[in-house]
Amino acid sequence: MRALSRDLSVPPLAYTVQQAASALALGASTVYELVASGALKSVRIGRRVVVPVDECAAFLKRQAEQ
């Protein structure tokens, strides 16, 4: 059986914490703290925490408005 290749032309709907950290120019520890505090909304799928792509932009907008 061949391994399925990921279609890179499909934009992601959610980031891993590490990807969100990179997108926000923050450290992964900071992103985990933001998720834990509720400042950055996330979704838990099993043991994995993912951050919706739209939430990264919304978080930045909320921070700019403060």
Q: Where are the domains of the chain?
A: 14-65
Task: Tell how far CA 66 is from the center of its chain.
Answer: 21
Q: pTM of the entire structure?
A: 0.82
User: What is the CB neighbour count within 10 angstroms for residue 9?
Assistant: 5
- 3-class SS of residue 45: strand
In this prediction, residue 2 carries a pLDDT of 57
Q: pLDDT tens, 3-51?
A: 566 666 889 999 999 999 999 999 999 999 999 999 999 999 999 999 9
Q: What is the pLDDT of residue 62?
A: 96
| CA 43/CA 61 separation, integer angstroms | 20
